Amino acid sequence: MASKVPNVVLNNGKNMPIIGLGTWGSPTGEVAQAVKDALDIGYRHIDCAFVYGNEPEVGEGINAKINEGIVKRDEVFVTSKLWNTFHRPDLVEGALKTTLKNLNLSYIDLYLIHWPMAYKEDGELFPKDDKDQVLYSDVDYLDTWREMEKLVDAGLTKTVGLSNFNARQVDRVYEAARIKPAVIQIECHPYLNQKKLSAHCAAKNITVTAYSPLGSPNRPWAKPEDPNLLNDPKIVAIADKYNKTTAQILIKYQVQRGHVVIPKSVNKNRMKSNFEVFDFILTDEDIALIDSFGRPDGRLVPLTGAYGHPHHPFEKDEY
Active site residues: 52
Is 259 known to sit in a ligand binding site?
no
Angle separating helix axes 167-176 and 141-153, nearest 10 degrees: 50
Contact 247, 230 (CB under 8 A): yes
Cα 220 to Cα 211: distance, rounded to the nearest angstrom: 16
Cα 221 to Cα 228: distance, rounded to the nearest angstrom: 13
Residue 186 has φ and ψ, to the nearest 5°, of -140, 155
Angle separating helix axes 31-41 and 55-68, nearest 10 degrees: 40
User: Annotated binding residues for substrate, as ranges?
Assistant: 114
User: Annotated binding residues, as ranges?
Assistant: 114
